[in-house]
Chains A and B, each alone.
Chain A
């Protein structure tokens, strides 16, 4: 097998890094189980009884042999059998009961965790999402939580059961015969040594497997997303070769390597078990001959040795689950610990119905991790109902201005007032409910066209939805779709053209009827007639409300009540189209450049 070196983004991925287990992580994860502590406690009790009834088995066999069979006592045999039967029935009921309780606890914890994560995601700032890719968020909330599910539902109790059973078996063995027990226990140090070595090797091996999976994942994602290019360039055969011989092959190699590691550890436990049994048979057998123990004790002992190694084998198997659960848990907690940047003030109140006056009072802003000012002393006074066109080069600060207005960030200094009220004194919800936003890339959700328009105002009637669609000239094409308003929009709205998606997003914003509208004009071009429709729709949308437009269309700019030219985070010019042209400044320059070619 040739060695495959995965690309750096795989070897640098978080799955590849090895972190020591943090006891704090375990502690905090257990915190999620805390609400169910009574159920857990009760389950533990049930488990205890069940384990006892199982550990008692070999002892009963011993009594049956020594006091019943060897002594020829029929009553003892009958009693032992009856006790055994009762123990088995108790065990049956208790296990059933416990599994049911624990299933609910485990699933509830997972449900709670996902809910909490999702709610937390809803409160995180947009900046977070530009740093944290969609794939990573999904890995956290779906895959990592899923590993924890296995851990909590099966592993936690299984580990507890194994440990408990181990203790009980040790106690039972000691009670039967101290000398033989000590003989058996001499295997423990070897067992520990083997486990320590295994742990280290296995951790490295499984880490590589995880990285391989994420590599396969990203290759799949990219090629499925780019399938149209793949087919257009007839790349299938080439891609298949590279997947087969490279990415998928690496996954195969790491998996087989991990199997090798695991396979070489298993026999260690078996060998130790065989050693212990052989020693007990010889030494114990000699003891029976010397009459210091009975035949029944010897038999019970051999049975116990088998059971003694079972939980140990099981524990070592569970270790990997524990390991990956902890790693997943740690990444989950990291996500939960991400601070919400913009919080409502403690005494924040709902803002009154907005009239529409907006004032930026010497507003400056920089991101928390970068002291460079993105906005520097912005002063701007907009009257209710005005349309403001923001103009400037990419990176000038246009987007930041509207982001502050929607309060995705708070100003570093200065203040921002709507109808004379400082935004920091009101709740974000009440503000955004009266604010609308149309993005450059009109995002549509999986669902019907109607649901997508309804997103603007959930309780709107069908007539209102249609009216909104008509107002932006979207009605005609919508009724032409297969199921009209009920037509489902596929992933990312791929079945609709760019222009159609824009119109739907306009209808959505219109239905919301916001007092303040933020509009980031789309840049991708559409055909002339669609363009006409969009301009008309735009005019209808902007009417009667305060609007901030990051403008790309000449018509939008010339029609604006106020044009604001931004450069390097400062307002360098503001006024109407005519005023600014007359000034022969930056605006004039931009205007000229645009027309000279």
Chain B
């Protein structure tokens, strides 16, 4: 049972659970008392002249009923409370865990599936823990209480009456076994259905453009069918068990009526006792029927727990080691020693034998073909991945031996896609340093050439951006991302300079912003602009995971290798030698203005 592995989340609320059990015990005792009153009414109260007895019995019944009602309300609340708290705790744990899972995990994880685990699967678990566990406890109380009373009243009749209970319990547990894995299948298929849909909607233009609607409908239909079949299987199991439970419970009453009836006729039992006896069996009946529901809910919860645990059991590959030390303020030296990197699912190594020594405040430019290993190389510095071989050192310290946060806080990154969050511009700039003052935020925005357009919005720095707010243009997003990195005041800066199309004016602004950003830090830049490459203290030319050439612009040109080849190629492509951004593949901005990325 996967759900048992989540027990630590429940044991945190032992006092509440104890209270709930106490409450349940009281409630059960009250309910068990009612049939005795009815029995006495029939056997003693219905004797002429006993009107006072009837009155008393009615008043006791009323008092019991009122108390039971109050206890039920308390019960319902406590159990929901426990369930909600447990769900809250599990969601917190999952969220934090997902956040800390390594890039290599997220490279393959589907967002939709992760969300559905955090919400739907946790809900199945919390429902079970909240209401179902309580019902189970109640069932046990009622079972033992009723059986005890029945036994002391008439043990022969009890033995006969409980016969149908055995097959009932056996059946229910068999049902539980089967239904758990069926539910797991159902959950997975629903996840798949939603992934199919997500993909279809995201790729709607491609589907339309190639007139592939029938093909898509067919693909969706296959999953939709599979889901239908999986559901039907669950319900077929249910359909077998549910009426049988009902039947077995009725069978108890029938047995009591027959055997008990004979006892009454023989004079060994009173009518009132028989009625009370039946009432107790009925009391067993309701929870017995609930048992099927319960097992059903347990199956659903167990499948949910399995999906929750699949996430929680994934160990983040990259964590600070137990002996990790706080990295002191960096000077900015970066060294690669015989570094190789091979991703788990790739055939070829992405980096082989990288040796590199960068002094503080140097500007390093990486050039090379797509897939040549530029991004892999820079991803190793903030330790987004771990090397397969060799070591990456900052200020002579292996990055694997230091605390991750102390490392990453000193490294600033501007990614190719300038992802912003649905929050105010201020919060986005202060993303890495939420405690930054307004002055610092404005200063960073000014240095990133973003201040001007930000104050142009009616709400200024309080303007909400992202999916649910104002849409910024590509160039604006980039400048906010630059400000975000600037505010971190990193000693080492990593820059993916593959700028998307922006108009010439904006490009100049961004260039200025970048210059401000790079000043006085060790900078690694995946470069396309000749202006940047030319200025670099060290140019790395990469090919198939190797550094094939390194040196300054002048040195490399003199060497007459791959660098010169690329350089000449660009010159040939761009007839106009006045072009300064030679290393940039000709984006449209050289031709006309485009204010927006769109």
Contacts and interface: CB of A to CB of B under 8 A. Distances in A.
Contacts of B595: 393-394
A494 to B, nearest CB: 6
A137 B98 contact: no
13 contacts: A111-B228, A138-B194, A252-B88, A260-B77, A274-B65, A275-B62, A285-B54, A306-B282, A392-B592, A439-B206, A491-B110, A523-B501, A555-B573
A477 B444 CA distance: 41
B211 A523 contact: no
Contacts of A226: 419, 421
Nearest to B118: A220
A311 B377 CA distance: 68
B206 A221 contact: no
B282 to A, nearest CB: 8
A220 B108 contact: no
A324 B258 CA distance: 47
Interface residues on A, range: 35 or more
Contact of B271 (A69, A91, A232): A69
B267 to A, nearest CB: 10
Contacts of B99: 223, 227, 230-231, 236, 239-240
B500 interface: yes
Interface in B80-134: 80-81, 84-85, 87-88, 91-92, 95-96, 98-101, 103, 106-112, 114-115, 118-119
A77 B243 contact: no
A295 B271 CA distance: 9
Contacts of B64: 274
B200 A121 contact: yes
A16 interface: no
Contacts of A523: 500-501, 587-588, 594, 597
Nearest to A223: B99
B55 A259 contact: no
A36 interface: no
Nearest to B101: A227
B591 A85 contact: no
Given A81-B254, A233-B413, A455-B212, 12 more contacts: A9-B468, A84-B254, A91-B250, A221-B115, A255-B87, A274-B69, A432-B211, A497-B371, A521-B588, A524-B501, A525-B587, A527-B528
Given A289-B51, A521-B588, A217 B275 contact: no
Nearest to A389: B591
A267 B70 contact: yes
Interface string B187-229: 0001001110111111111111111110111001100110110
A490 B108 contact: yes
Interface string A194-205: 000000000000
A118 interface: yes
A107 B587 contact: no
Contacts of A119: 217
Contact of B246 (A92, A103, A220, A251): A92
B80 A274 contact: no
A273 B65 contact: yes
A142 B243 contact: no
Contacts of A551: 588
A271 B415 contact: no
A81 B257 contact: yes
B217 A122 contact: yes
A573 to B, nearest CB: 12
B593 A593 contact: yes
A271 B65 CA distance: 6
A278 B415 contact: no
A456 B215 CA distance: 11
Nearest to B422: A222
A225 B72 contact: no
Contact of A263 (B61, B76, B224, B244): B76
A221 to B, nearest CB: 6
B165 to A, nearest CB: 16
Interface string A232-267: 111111111001100011011001101110111011
Contact of A216 (B50, B91, B212, B586): B91
B519 to A, nearest CB: 21
B208 A111 contact: no
Contacts of A553: 585-588
Contacts of A552: 501, 587-588, 591
B220 A118 contact: yes
From B231, B589, B592, name the one whose CB has the most chain A CB atoms within 10 angstroms: B592
B194 A122 contact: no
A458 B119 CA distance: 37
A443 B597 CA distance: 17
Contact of A299 (B110, B257, B275): B275
A435 interface: yes
A523 B578 CA distance: 22
A595 B194 contact: no
Contact of B591 (A134, A408, A590): A590
Interface string A379-404: 00000000000011111000000000
A527 B374 CA distance: 11
Given A394-B598, A555-B586, A528 B566 contact: yes
A274 B588 contact: no
Contacts of B88: 248-249, 251-252
From B114, B190, B195, B501, name the one whose CB has the most chain A CB atoms within 10 angstroms: B501
A48 to B, nearest CB: 15
Interface in A84-139: 84-85, 88-89, 91-96, 99-100, 103-104, 107-108, 110-111, 114-115, 118-119, 121-123, 126, 129, 133-134, 137-138
Nearest to B207: A122
B243 A99 contact: yes
A57 B250 contact: yes
A96 B46 contact: no
Interface in B541-585: 566, 569-570, 573, 576, 578-580, 583-585
Interface in B462-487: 466-468, 484
B68 A270 contact: yes
B111 A279 contact: no
Interface stretch (A167-175, A183-191, A328-336, A529-537): A529-537
A175 to B, nearest CB: 20
Contacts of B153: none
A327 interface: no
A436 interface: yes
A237 B371 CA distance: 33
B253 interface: yes
A7 B367 CA distance: 44
B81 A235 contact: no
Given A77-B257, A267-B70, A439-B206, A285 B41 contact: yes
B257 A84 contact: yes
B390 to A, nearest CB: 22
Contacts of B583: 528
A258 B81 CA distance: 10
Interface string B362-384: 00000111111000000000101
Given A153-B235, A393-B592, A234 B65 contact: no
Contacts of A91: 243, 246-247, 250
B185 interface: no
Given A286-B51, A289-B51, A217 B588 contact: no
B432 A235 contact: yes
Please provide the 4 A-B residue pairs with the shortest distance between their CB atoms, ordered closest to farther: A274-B65, A552-B588, A437-B209, A259-B80
A436 B112 CA distance: 30
B591 A525 contact: no
A238 B74 CA distance: 36
Nearest to A483: B347
Given A81-B257, A111-B225, A498-B370, A525 B585 contact: yes
B432 A104 contact: no
A236 B92 contact: no
B498 interface: yes
Nearest to B60: A278
A445 interface: yes
Contacts of A84: 250, 253-254, 257
